[in-house]
Amino acid sequence: MPRISQLFFRTAVVFLLVGIAVGLQMSISGVHNVTGAHAHINLLGWVTSAVFGGYYALNPAKAEGRVPLIHYGVYTAGVAVMVAGLYVLLLGNTAAEPIVAAASLVTLLGVLVFAYVVFMPARAGAGARAMPAE
C-alpha cells in the first residue's frame, strides 16, 4: 500500500476516535450543541480521509510525488483546524468564526488538490500497478 494511503487511513482513524469521543460527550452530558462539529469530524475527517486513502491505494501511480503529500497536509490541517474552531464556535465563542471560515477555505483547497490528482494523467512509468488510461 502506498505511504500516502497509510497516512490518510491512519489519520482517518484518529478523526474517527475523536468523533466518537465528541459523540459520547454529547450523549453523556445530554447537551448536543456541538452536533455540527461532530458531523464534520466524522464526514470530512473519518469518511473522506478514508476515501482518499482508498483512492491512492487503488491508483498507486497517482500516489507518488509531492502533490499527494501536499493534498494530505493541506486537507488534514484544514479539517483539523476547522473542526476545532467549529467546536469552540458552537460552544458560544463567536471569535472562532473567522478561524472556521479560513480553515474551511484551506479544506476546500485540499479538495481542489485532490481533484487535480484525479483528473490529471498519471506520470509515465509511475506506480507498481499503474492502471491503463480509460
In-domain check, residue 8: yes
Tell me if 78 is assigned to some domain: yes
- Average pLDDT score over residue span 76-102: 98
Grid coordinates of 39: 458531523
128 lies in some domain: no
Per cent of the chain over pLDDT 70 is 92
Single pTM value for the model: 0.90
Mean pLDDT of the chain: 93
Query: Nearest-CA neighbor of 52 among 107, 125, 127?
Result: 107
- Total domain count for the chain? 1
Give the range of the structural domain holding residue 90, as residue numbers without chain letter. 3-119
Q: Is 13 domain-assigned?
A: yes
In a domain, residue 132? The reply is no
Euclidean distance between CA atoms 15 and 26, whole angstroms: 16
- Does 124 fall in a domain? no
- pLDDT per position as a tens digit, 34-75: 999 999 999 999 999 999 999 999 999 999 999 999 999 999
Looking up cell 489519520 gives 11
For residue 113, count other CB atoms closer than 10 A to its CB: 18
Residue 132 grid cell: 491503463
